[in-house]
């Protein structure tokens, strides 16, 4: 499941309700950064943040490696299609 929100702020919580039966929800955003606390809340709710590669640098360094790039997400989809 991939949801899109221009900004995350509190709207990321909508994703939880929109796909309540899906264990891991992916959220694509163009927002330039979120706080570490907000990111940890997303992780605890099984929301995987997806952003375009050029925006990764706008996020706190400690969480950058835990953010999925859009390119990586699309790569995973390609693998699933081939299976």
Give start and end residues of each alpha helix (H) in 1-83.
Answer: 12-18, 36-44, 70-82
Task: Please state the domain extents for the chain.
Answer: 2-82
Beta bridge partners of 48: 26
**Cα 23 to Cα 46: distance, rounded to the nearest angstrom:** 7
46 backbone φψ class: left, alpha, beta (φ>0; ψ -120 to 50)? left
pLDDT along the chain (83 residues), means of 10: 85 87 92 94 95 96 97 93 83
The verdict on pTM exceeding 0.85 is yes
Task: Please say whether the beta carbons of 30 and 3 come within 8 A.
Answer: no
pLDDT value, residue 7? 85
pLDDT value, residue 36? 95
pLDDT value, residue 83? 74
pLDDT value, residue 30? 92
């Amino acid at each position: 499941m991939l949801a899109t929100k221009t900004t995350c702020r509190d709207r990321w919580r909508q994703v939880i309700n929109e796909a309540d039966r899906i264990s891991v929800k992916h959220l694509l955003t163009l927002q330039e950064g979120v706080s570490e606390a907000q990111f940890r809340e997303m992780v605890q709710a099984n929301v995987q943040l997806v952003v375009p590669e050029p925006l990764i640098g706008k996020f706190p360094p400690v969480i950058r490696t835990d953010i999925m790039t859009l390119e990586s997400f699309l790569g995973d989809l390609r693998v699933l299609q081939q299976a």
